[in-house]
Structure 1
Amino acid sequence: MIDFTVKVSRTGIEEGVNIIPMYEDEVPQPAITLPENVMKIIEKVAGRDFKGKLEEVYSIPTMLDKGPERIVLTGLGKRDELELDSFRRAYGRVAIRLEEAMIESASSPIVSDVFDLGSVSRSIVEGIILSMYRFDRYKSEKKEQKLRHVTLLIRDESALGKVKKSIEEAGKICRGVYTARDLTNMPSIDCYPEKFAEIVYEVGRKVGFNVRIYKIDELEKMSMGGIVAVGSGSIHKPVLIELEYDGTDGKDQSPYVIVGKAVTFDSGGISIKPSEKMEEMKYDKAGGAAVVGILEAVASLKLPIKVVGLIPCVENLPSGTAFRPGDIIKFRNGKTAEIISTDAEGRLILADALSYAVEKNPKVIIDLATLTGACIIALGTHASGLFTNNQELAEKIKRSAERTGERVWQLPLWKQYKEQLKSDVADLKNSGGRPAGAITAALFLSEFVGDKPWVHLDIAGTAYMQETSEQKSYMVKGATGVGVRLIIDYLMNEES
C-alpha cells in the first residue's frame, strides 16, 4: 500500500508534485491560499482548461527554478454540494492519473473549511488507497504500482496527532476493504466453502480474531436445516464460520453480531438461473466477505468492543442430491419453510445464522447480503436497501452511510407484505413472488431475529461494479467491498 505522512507547512506547497483541490464555483481560486507564484500559474489555466468539476484533473508543469515541479489540480465540485465522499472521489481520480503518469510521490494541502481535518484526511487516504486496488492474481504479467508516497500538508500544528491517527485508521480500514474485495472477486474454483473458511482462518490468525468452522456433521447436529439444504447439491460441503473478536479486556459486554451471506457460487440450484451473466454469481459471497473485512479492521484498530461475525457459506448447485422446490426445511429456531424456488437460497442460510446470532445475546444484529435482484430494480446500483425493526439503529447506520459514501435507503417492513409469505404446509414460503421482492425477503429474515435490534442490508446492487453503477474513482471494476467502511464507521462512532 501507499505510504502516507503528514507535515506542518505554512505555505501549503512542497517541491515535486503538488495536488491542489479547487471548488467548481470558485475557480480560479484554489480551495486554500497558496504562494503568489503558484497562484499565478493556476490562474492561467483555471476557468479555461480546468473547471473544477468533481473528479476533474488537470496537470501543469510549473517551469519554476525553485518550488513545485508540477501542479495537479483536482476538482471537488461545488462547495455547497461538498461531501466527505467528494474528497475520496477527487483524490482517487488524482491517484489514478499519477499512477498512469508513473509518478511515485506527491504532496497535498488538506482543505478543512467545511469538515474537520481528521475526517477529510481519512477520506483522502481512503480515496487514494481504494483507487489503487487491482485484482491481478490471475494475470501472468503483473504491473508494479508506481505511486508510493503521499504527504498531506496542514497548517495547524496542534492537529498533527489527530491527522496522523486518522491516516493510520484509514489504512487499516482499507486493508479490510481489500480483503473483502479479494474474497468476493475470487472464482469459485478457488474459493469454495472449505477454502473460504481456510482464508478466513488465516486472516484471523494474522490480525487477532478467533475463528471456528462448523462443518456438515456439526451443522446437522445444530439443526442448521437451511445451510445444510442449500449446500446439499455441491461436492463442496457447507460450513458456518464464526469469527470472534474481544477487545474489552474481559469485561462482560454483549457483542455486536455481524452476519454475512456467502454463496461462493449461485447457479440457482434446481431453479437454475439463465446462463447470461451467471459468471457474476461468484459475487454472491460479498456479504460474507464484508464480514471478514470488518473483523480484520476491528482487530487491527483494536476497538474496545466485542464483535462476533457469522458467515453461512455454501455453494448452490443442481444435482441429484440438491434440495428441490416443494421441500420443507426446518431451521435452527424451529420454524419451517416451504421451498418455492431454490434460487431464493440466501434467506435460507441467513435464517439459521440469524437464529444462532440471537443466542449470542447481541447488542445489535446487522446482516449483509446480496439477497435480491428486486432490490436492484427498486434502488438501482447507487444505494443498498436498509430494513430494520429498530429505527434508532437504522438512523445511526444512515449517518455512517453519509459519512462513508456507502449510501443506504430504507424500505418498509409492513405486515401486509407478509401475506405473500404464507404457506399452506409450512410456517413460511421462501419466496413471495415478484412484487416487493426485496421487502418480502427481508420480512422472511425478520422471523429469525426475535426482538433483537436488527438491520438488514441488501447489497445486491452495490456489491460489485455493474453497467449502471456510479463511476466513482475509488470503486474499481469488480467487487467494491461495500459494507466494510460503513459498519466500521458505525462501530467507531457507537463506541467513541
Structure 2
Amino acid sequence: MEFLVKSTRPETLKTATLVVAIGEGRKLGIAAKAVDQASNGALTAVLKRGDIAGKPGQTLLLHSLPGLKAERVLLVGCGKGELSDRQLRKLVASVHGVLKGLGGSDALLALDELKVKGRDTYGKTRLIAETLADGTYLFEQFKSQKADPRALKKITLVVDKAEQADAERALQHARAIATGVAFTKDLGNLPPNLCHPSYLAEEAKALGKVHKNLKVEILDEKKLKELGAGAFLAVAQGSEQPPRMIVMHYQGGKKDDKPFALVGKGITFDTGGISIKPAANMDEMKYDMCGAASVFGTLKAVLELQLPINLVCLLACAENMPSGRATRPGDIVTTMSGQTVEILNTDAEGRLVLCDTLTYAERFKPQAVIDVATLTGACIVALGSNVSGLMGNNDTLIKQILKAGETADDRAWQLPLHDEYQEQLDSPFADIANIGGPKAGTITAGCFLSRFAKNFHWAHLDIAGTAWISGGKDKGGTGRPVPLLTQYLLDRAKA
C-alpha cells in the first residue's frame, strides 16, 4: 500500500473514493461542507434523511454525487469533541474495512480536521497511517487458495499546507514501523517446524548482506559452551534443533558512541520441557519467540530510517523440548556470569536464555538494555492483553519507555521490583532458583533477570499478553512492541 500526503481542496480532486467526516448530531466537518457546497447540498439532503448520525466509526457510502470528480464519497462519523487513540483507530479501521471492499485503486482521506486528545498533526497522521497499514496485513503463504488481490493501492491523506512537513515525517516513520510490525508478525506466524533458531540465524545473515552498516555474528553451541552459557544451553539440550545466540550490531552513530541494546527471547517452540504444558492451545507456543521477533522487527524499522544511533540486537534462540537429554527439575546449572541456578521448573526457560544473553550484552558497554520476552502467564492475569508489563533498575529509562509507549499507542505499565520479592528466589542448593512460587510470578521473573543486569541501565518488557491474539479466526501475531521500541529509539536519536 502506498501512502501519500497532499495539501489540496478535496472536493476538486479526482479519486475513486473521497472520505470526509461527519460530526455527531449530523454536523458537517470542514471538508464535508466543501463537498456539500460543490454537490449542491447533496450531503445535507442525505443527513436530513437520517442515514448517518455521526457517531465514531459509522460509515455511509455515496455514489456519483453531482459536481465532484470523486467517483464515490464515504462519510464517516467522528463523534463530538476530541477522539481518544482507540476511537481514532476504530474509526480508521472502519473506513479501511469499506475501502478494501471497493473497486477503486485509490482513496483520498480528508480527515485532517479530526481532533485527537494529546496528538498534533504528526502524531495523528502517524497513527492513521499505521492503522491503515496494519489493516492490509495478510499471512497466507501456506494457503493453497490466496485471497483475491485488492484493488486499493494508494491512500492520500489531506493536510493543511503548513503541516505538510510534519505529516510527511509521520508517514516516513509509519512506513518503517509498519515494515517492522509486518516482519515481526510473519516470524511469529510461521510454523515452528520452519521457524527454528537456525532459520532466524539465516534471516539475520541475509539482512547483514543487504546493509553495510549491520554486522551479524551467530554464536553456535560450541561458542556458547566456550562462553560458559550453561543456562542457555540447558534449555536447548532436549531438542534436536541447536540453539543460536544471534548478535546484530547496527552502526548508525559515531564510532565511539555507546550503543543501545535490545535483547529478545526467542524460544521458537515451548513445550515446557519436562514440566510439560497442557495440550490445549500448545500450538500457540510457536509465539514464544515473539520477543526476538519484535527486536528483529525493530531493527528492520531502524535500518529503513537509518537512525543516527548505534544499536546491538541480541536474539536468544532455542527450542524447549522434552527428551532423554532434557533438563530435569532439580538440575543446577552455571550461568555465563558464574551464578548458579537451581531449575525447579523447566517451563520457566525464557529467563534462562535471557540471563546469559544479558551477561553477554555487557561487553558492548551499552547506554541502556531493554529485554523483551513473552515471559509469564502471570502478566496476562495482571494486565490482560492491552498493555505490556515493565520493570527495571533505572527510573529515567523506565520513564523513557513509558513515554515512548504513550506516543506510539503501544503502552506499558510499570510493576514494582522491590527487594522483598527477591527472597522468593532463594534456593537451599544454588545461588538462585529459577521460579519464585505462585505469587507475583511476573515480578519474580523480573527479579531473576535483574541479578544479571546490575552493571548497566536495564528494563524488562513482559509481552506475554500483547505479542499475539489467542484462539479463533483472528489468532496471530500483533507485532507489538515494535512501535514502542522504535519510538524509544526515535526519541534517543533526537536527544
Q: What is the TM-score normalised by the length of structure 2?
A: 0.92
Is 1:12–1:108's contact at 8 Å kept on the other side of the alignment? no
The reply on whether 1:29 has 2:12 as its aligned counterpart is: no
Is 1:92–1:129's contact at 8 Å kept on the other side of the alignment? no
* Separation in structure 2 between the aligned mates of residue 183 and residue 315 of structure 1, nearest angstrom: 15
Give 1:269-418 correspondences, 5 Å limit: 269-418=273-422
Secondary structure of 1:120's aligned partner: helix
Map of 2:62 onto structure 1: 60
Deviation at 1:437, TM superposition (A): 0.6
Secondary structure of 2:315's aligned partner: strand
The one-letter code of the counterpart of 2:426 is K
The reply on whether 1:444 has 2:448 as its aligned counterpart is: yes
Map of 2:8 onto structure 1: 9
Map of 1:80 onto structure 2: 82
Deviation at 1:185, TM superposition (A): 0.7
Q: Deviations over 1:71-128 (max 9, x none)?
A: 2233445533433x54444223322321123432100124255533222222221111
Deviation at 1:166, TM superposition (A): 2.3
Q: Deviations over 1:232-253 (max 9, x none)?
A: 01111100000110111x4311
Q: How many matched pairs? A: 485
* Separation in structure 2 between the aligned mates of residue 343 and residue 486 of structure 1, nearest angstrom: 28
Map of 2:105 onto structure 1: 104
Map of 1:141 onto structure 2: 145
Map of 1:481 onto structure 2: 479
- Unaligned 5+ residue runs, structure 1? none
96-105 or 372-381, which moves further after superposition? Answer: 96-105
Deviation at 1:361, TM superposition (A): 1.0
360-369 or 57-66, which moves further after superposition? Answer: 57-66
* Separation in structure 1 between the aligned mates of residue 78 and residue 262 of structure 2, nearest angstrom: 34
Deviation at 1:26, TM superposition (A): 5.8
Distance 1:95 1:319, change over 3 A: same
* Separation in structure 2 between the aligned mates of residue 420 and residue 181 of structure 1, nearest angstrom: 35
* Separation in structure 1 between the aligned mates of residue 68 and residue 267 of structure 2, nearest angstrom: 57
Is 2:10–2:108's contact at 8 Å kept on the other side of the alignment? no
* Separation in structure 2 between the aligned mates of residue 490 and residue 75 of structure 1, nearest angstrom: 33
- Unaligned 5+ residue runs, structure 2? none
The one-letter code of the counterpart of 1:91 is V
Residue 243 of structure 2, aligned match among 238, 241, 250: 238
Percent identical among aligned pairs is 38
Is 2:235–2:318's contact at 8 Å kept on the other side of the alignment? yes
Deviation at 1:430, TM superposition (A): 0.5
144-153 or 272-281, which moves further after superposition? Answer: 144-153
64-73 or 219-228, which moves further after superposition? Answer: 64-73
* Separation in structure 1 between the aligned mates of residue 71 and residue 378 of structure 2, nearest angstrom: 52
Map of 2:124 onto structure 1: 120
Q: Deviations over 1:285-311 (max 9, x none)?
A: 100000111111111101000000010
Moved runs in structure 1, 4+ residues, more than 6 A?
none
* Separation in structure 2 between the aligned mates of residue 371 and residue 17 of structure 1, nearest angstrom: 45
* Separation in structure 1 between the aligned mates of residue 352 and residue 4 of structure 2, nearest angstrom: 47
Q: Deviations over 1:153-212 (max 9, x none)?
A: 2232x4333322321221122111111110011111111111121122223333552211
Secondary structure of 2:491's aligned partner: helix
Map of 1:69 onto structure 2: 71
The reply on whether 1:460 has 2:464 as its aligned counterpart is: yes
Q: CA RMSD in A?
A: 2.2
Q: Deviations over 1:211-232 (max 9, x none)?
A: 1110000011011112111000
